[in-house]
């Protein structure tokens, strides 16, 4: 983390990937790959929701009505969008998502990870970039009233 609590390594890696995509391909391909990544995230979330629905939503929090129906419909709807992006972009985007999952898994191996305590402490103390931005926004809103 930087002194402002930004996850610098993740930001630099994402920036490098985006710059490479824009530099090595046309904008349509970069957008299609981004869409594939977003749809893949929705698919993963819907698989998790399906598993939770099958268990009867055992943890506290929001519960979707209709059992497994909504996660199934949401999964099928998201998957149905993939062909509209072109199969070459879908295959490349899917490969990139799995490469990202592989990198994510590597980061959680004990011998490869940095000390997570500073990150966890920053989250617990709400000293993250988003929390600071929200405080500034709230402060501005109260001073303009």
Most trustworthy range by pLDDT among 24-38, 74-88, 110-124: 74-88
Q: Count the Cβ atoms, other than its own, within 10 Å of residue 33.
A: 22
Region of poorest pLDDT, from 16-20, 33-37, 112-116 = 112-116
Question: Which pair of tokens denotes residue 82?
Answer: 């993939």
pLDDT, tens digit, for every residue of 75-88?
Answer: 999 999 999 999 99
**pLDDT at position 145, please?**
63
**Average pLDDT score over residue span 27-47:** 91
**pLDDT at position 113, please?**
61
Counting every residue written for the chain, the total comes to 145
* Cα angle value 133/8/28 (rounded, 5°): 85
**For the chain, what is the mean pLDDT?**
82
**pLDDT at position 44, please?**
93
**pLDDT at position 82, please?**
94
Most trustworthy range by pLDDT among 3-7, 44-48, 100-104, 131-135: 44-48
Residues 6+ apart with CB under 8 A from 137: none
């Amino acid at each position: 983390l930087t002194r402002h609590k930004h996850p610098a390594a993740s930001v630099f890696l994402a920036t490098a990937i985006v710059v490479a995509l824009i530099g090595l391909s046309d904008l349509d391909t970069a957008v299609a790959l981004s869409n594939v990544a977003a749809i893949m995230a929705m698919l993963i979330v819907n698989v998790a929701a399906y598993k939770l629905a099958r268990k009867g939503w055992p943890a506290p929090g929001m519960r979707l009505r209709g059992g497994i129906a909504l996660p199934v419909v949401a999964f099928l709807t998201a998957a149905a969008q993939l062909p509209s992006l072109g199969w070459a972009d879908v295959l490349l985007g899917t490969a990139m998502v799995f490469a990202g999952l592989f990198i994510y898994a590597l980061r959680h191996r004990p011998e490869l990870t940095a000390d997570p305590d500073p990150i966890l402490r920053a989250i617990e103390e709400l000293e993250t970039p988003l929390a600071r931005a929200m405080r500034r926004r709230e402060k501005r809103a109260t001073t303009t009233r």
